[in-house]
Amino acid sequence: MKKIYDMLKLENIKILPGVKDWREAIHVAVKPLVDGGYCEERYSDEIIKNTEKLGPYYVLCENVALIHGSTEQGVLKRQIAITLLKKPVKFKTDGYDVRILITLAATDAESHMEVLQAMSELFESQESTKKVLDASNEKEIYDLFVKAV
């Protein structure tokens, strides 16, 4: 339970009207982590390069993307940011509509696993996903994630 409090801060949750494309989605999703000193500015550029090479490997399902790069691509401290887009974005033409961007800055391969497990359980339920999509403020989203752990 404690790890979610260490890895998700209320100030790293944002609700935005929308973005012009997937590249902007990555930049806005990573921005709270850059602003908080959890990763370097280049982290979003590295994720964009990865996407151009590998495709949108982080789109998990309809509405949900777990945006992340590797630890050596500018991660300073472990943390999660959540961005809810009111208008969905597509990461490829025939791909899913995505509105929930979970951005992960991980310093190693293990320390964030408990949090990822809780998130997968949260999004396993359509009802829980709908609650996140319908959230009217950042605190609501924070409470949903904390409750999932």
In this predicted structure, what is the pLDDT of residue 55?
Answer: 94
* Secondary structure letter of residue 75 according to DSSP: B
Task: Domain ranges for the chain, please list them.
Answer: 2-148
Rounded to an integer, the average pLDDT of 23-37 is 98
- What's the pLDDT score for residue 1? 45
pLDDT of 103 > 80? The answer is: yes
Number of C-beta neighbours around residue 138 at 10 A: 16
Task: Please report, for residues 21, 85, 121, 127, the alpha-carbon distance to residue 45 in angstroms, rounded to integers and kept in the order given.
Answer: 14, 20, 30, 34
pLDDT at 36: 97
For this structure, is 27 an active site residue? no
Give CATH superfamily name and number for 2-148.
Mannitol-specific EII; Chain A (3.40.930.10)
List Cβ neighbours of 6 (8 Å cut-off, separation of 6 or more). Answer: 78
pLDDT at 52: 96
The catalytic residue among 22, 64, 68, 100 is 68
